[in-house]
Chains A and B, each alone.
Chain A
Amino acid sequence: MVVRVQRDDFDIGREMDALLAGRRDIGGVASFTGLVRAFSDARNVGALTLEHYPGMTEKALAAIEAEARERFDIQASLIVHRFGRMEPGERIVLVIAASAHRGEAFRAAEFLMDWLKTKAPFWKSEETPDGPQWVEARAADDNAVERWS
């Protein structure tokens, strides 16, 4: 299992290759990549700055990954989450789940994303025409987490 918090961009192909190097027990790999979008609700977003809680972030991501391994039959997994300033189109987060079969890989990847949205200590601030705005937590994200409880 791999958990990383970093300022720099990541290469999805390299991350997947490194995670699966030498494995012969994997039949399916599901990945999700989150990007910065140029609009949020009704407002334009010039860029995004992600603040986090160094120390707790790594622990929280490791706990989320451990929970995914309890719940799903996955053989390898990865979470890479960026912090700092990012412009529209840039990658923010990558999750990968690998399993003998595709169903568990798909489900685990979705679970990892749902949980890290509300359980990992990151906060987004958007640059808007009216100045910087902190993103508010979405009820939809809470509902997404409840789905798994």
Chain B
Amino acid sequence: MKLLYFAWIRERTGIHEETWPLPDGVTSLRDLVAALAARGPGFAHAFADLKQVRAAVNQETAKLDDPVSEGDEVAFFPPMTGG
């Protein structure tokens, strides 16, 4: 799957964009967040407070319990501050 990180989530993970194999047993965004947070201190820091994390699956805003599958484009970012 394709993973994207924006703003301070990008800074904490140290990655903007990557291809990552969908881990075994991961079926929802919630599972994916848990798997990512276990990758190291930067990732753990990025996903420490899920109230501050928003996500999109295939460029549509998604909720934590929404499903994810191999081939999806999943993005993580803070609440939007445009305008």
A residues with CB within 8 A of B: 34, 50-53, 55-56, 59, 81, 92-93, 113, 116-125, 134-137, 141
Asked whether B80 lies within 8 Å of A119 as measured between CB atoms, the reply is yes
Residue B22, interface by CB 8 Å: no
Asked whether B83 lies within 8 Å of A53 as measured between CB atoms, the reply is no
Interface SS majority for chain A: mixed
As a 0/1 sequence over residues 42 to 83 of chain B, the CB contacts with chain A under 8 angstroms (1 = contact) are: 000000000000001001110000000000000101111111
Q: How far is the CA of A98 from the CA of B56 in the complex (A)?
A: 32
Count A/B pairs, Cβ under 8 Å: 68
Question: Which residues of the other chain, B, contact A122 by a CB distance below 8 angstroms?
Answer: 80-83
Asked whether B6 lies within 8 Å of A123 as measured between CB atoms, the reply is yes
Q: How far is the CA of A50 from the CA of B75 in the complex (A)?
A: 17
Asked whether A123 lies within 8 Å of B83 as measured between CB atoms, the reply is no
Question: Which residues of the other chain, A, contact B83 by a CB distance below 8 angstroms?
Answer: 34, 92-93, 113, 116-117, 120, 122, 141
A–B pairs, 11, beta carbons within 8 Å: A51-B6, A53-B4, A53-B59, A56-B56, A93-B83, A118-B79, A121-B6, A121-B75, A122-B81, A135-B81, A137-B80
